[in-house]
Amino acid sequence: ALAAQARTFDGDGRTADGHRVELLANVGDPADAEAAAAAHAQGVGLFRTEFQFLDRDEPPTIDEQVTAYRRVFAAFAGRKVVIRTLDAGADKPMPFLTSDDEANPALGVRGLRTAALHADVLEDQLTAIARAADAESAVVWVMAPMVSTVDEAEDFVARCARHGLGTAGVMVEVPSAALVADRILAHAAFASIGTNDLTQYTMAADRLLGSVAHLSDAWHPAVLRLVAETCRGGAAQGRPVGVCGEAAAVPALAVVLVGLGVTSLSMTPRALADVAAVLGATTSDECARLAQRALAAPTAADARELVRAALPVLAELG
Ligand code: PEP
Ligand code: MG
């Protein structure tokens, strides 16, 4: 029964005991958003806005941006869309914003850090987001990538407020942000954990380099402890904490993330059905118990194996 059921997602994410977990989609352009809505994603947890900035000599105009953002918001009328401001640099180079002569671009001027040098690009983007949000009924949340300090979070939230964007949050993808999440969430309305970069920066392993891929594992208890710390900060401030990195799409890991206190999971729409099926077969107590065991494991492999062994439902996914 589960295998058949696992083919589609009915748009309602819950644990076996009925505890709600928002299951959202990661999208990169309007066509993705339309496909995500058709797959019954409950909203968009990560709208990566880089698509219209890549392979260009200058940023798109405000009007071009408004048109694209409106299409994404329209696909999720009345529902939540978390739109991320431009994440330029490192694996997403943009010549008009980022320099190609940094020795360590992943540790350089990327994400929100580009705003210190080119505030105009972020200002135009926030203008476009605010206009698109005013024109559509989606519940628009805005977040910044690559936040490392409380000051950056505070500045970003204030900047969004000046554009009338009242729900501003941050991605937690740098260990420093995870470790002071309680302070950051005194300013930011929410956090979304980017496990792709959080793993890269925790393990000091380039996410694009095959020779260190064995270290790039979000199951590593060091990464899980930072997720737990972020969730503690969220709970302390009464703020939601989601995950929008690829870890959210791995059913057994999704169980652990929920057990650590994550309130939403955002993923590629094709993963929604399997993640929903495994969560739906696991109680919140079981999620919490498995999360504690994964945190205490010595290695990523131990954490993965002990959790997988405790979830026979995984075998039924096919
Ligand atoms: C992440 O780092 O986990 C994330 C979701 O952002 P991106 O993959 O776009 O860097
Ligand atoms: Mg990232």
What are the tens digits of pLDDT across the range 50-94? 999 998 999 999 999 999 999 999 999 999 999 999 999 888 889
The best mutation among 44, 49, 173 to test binding of ligand 1, ranked by most ligand atoms within 8 Å of the C-beta, falls on 173
Percent of the chain as helix, strand, coil, to the nearest 5? 50, 15, 35
Q: Is the CB of 192 under 6 A from ligand 1?
A: no
Q: Worst-scoring range by mean pLDDT, 57-66, 98-107, 177-186, 243-252?
A: 98-107
Mean of the per-residue pLDDT values of the chain: 96
**Token couple for 109:** 């001027």
Percentage with pLDDT > 90 across the chain? 92
Measured from the CB, is residue 195 less than 6 Å from ligand 1?
yes
Mean pLDDT, rounded, for 237-248: 98
CA of 200 to the centre of ligand 2 (A): 9
Distance 16 CA to ligand 2 centre (A): 31
The alpha carbon of 17 and the centre of ligand 1 are apart by a number of angstroms equal to 31
* 87 Cα: distance to centroid of ligand 2 (angstroms): 8
CA-nearest of 226, 227, 225, 203 to 216 is 203
Whole-model pTM: value is 0.96
pLDDT per residue as tens digits for the range 120-131: 999 999 999 999
Question: Which pLDDT does position 198 carry in this prediction?
Answer: 98
**Over residues 286-315, mean pLDDT:** 98
Q: Is the pLDDT of residue 283 over 90?
A: yes
Ranking 85-99, 165-179, 298-312 by mean pLDDT, the lowest is: 85-99
266 lines ligand 1 (CB under 6 A): no
Residue appearing with tokens 């580009």:
114
Q: Give the Cα-Cα-Cα angle 277, 282, 284 (nearest 5 degrees).
A: 125
Q: Buried b vs exposed e over 175-194: b needs ≥16 C-beta within 10 Å?
A: bebbbbbbbbbebbbbbbbb
pLDDT (0 to 100) of residue 34: 98
* Tens digit of each residue's pLDDT (9 = 90 or more) over 26-48: 999 999 999 999 999 999 999 99
Residue 226: partners with Cβ closer than 8 Å, 6 or more residues away: 172, 175, 178, 179, 198, 202
Q: Is 90 exceeded by the pLDDT of residue 99? A: no
pLDDT the model gives residue 6: 47
pLDDT at 315: 93
- pLDDT higher than 90, residue 257: yes
Q: Check residue 102 and give its pLDDT.
A: 92
Atom 8 of ligand 1, nearest CA residue: 196
Token digits for 113? 């850090």
Helix (H, G, I), strand (E, B) or coil at 289: helix
Please tell me the predicted confidence (pLDDT) of residue 1. Answer: 45
Q: Would you place residue 147 in the very low, low, confident or very high pLDDT band (cuts 50, 70, 90)?
A: very high
